[in-house]
Structure 1
């Protein structure tokens, strides 16, 4: 897996008529634009990282793992010990 910088951006507009510009940036390149809501954008970011086999940022590794494995149920059978502990606490 290669390490990449992944972000969700939100550019607020000053007029009430135009929509905010929300999208996803990987290594400084806008790869998805004109997205409409933040929860969907988080799912798209996790899916994009999974599809491109990108490594999650080290400081957000467990956050992304919870999104991917607990919320989206992708690779649900392969949980790290920390995420497995969280799952058990949530289900008890």
Structure 2
């Protein structure tokens, strides 16, 4: 939340909200978002990590960039070790893209973020809203009071 106070960029605020959502649901967003801070000699480590990822979002930060900086060398979505999308510049867009791929390809949600993706599906996108888990229903009730 300190990043949100220091930065007026809407993408930073959205990033904080998405990360807060996963914290509220007791899930860890870092299981899906893998961050690498590399220079040219360490690029092989990031490529190996990406190739071993089953499903996730990778962020390669410019060498010397702080975690709050929006300075990325590359950002994308990985499914089964294959880079599907590259050069996405904000966390919100990355989350929307991975949600869209999961939904379009009829894949299962990542086990560690099932509730977060169900909130995306059932509350934000209003798809299949008839069956809500207790966690998702409680969040929806709090949001619309």
TM-score range, shorter chain: 0.7 to 0.9
Contact 1:5 1:57 in 2 (8 A): no
| 1:37, distance to aligned residue in structure 2 (A) | 1.1
Larger % of helix: which?
2
Point out 4+ residue stretches in structure 1 off by more than 3 angstroms. none
Q: Give the TM-score normalised by structure 2.
A: 0.53
Structure with max Cα Rg: 2
Q: Give the TM-score normalised by structure 1.
A: 0.79
Which residue number in structure 2 is paired with residue 51 of structure 1?
A: 104
Q: For CA contacts below 8 A with separation 6 or more, give which structure has more relative contact order.
A: 1
Give 1:11's match in structure 2, choosing from 53, 60, 63: 60
Which residue number in structure 2 is paired with residue 75 of structure 1?
A: 128
Unpaired segments ≥5 residues, structure 2: 1-52, 66-70
The number of aligned residues is 88
Unpaired segments ≥5 residues, structure 1: none
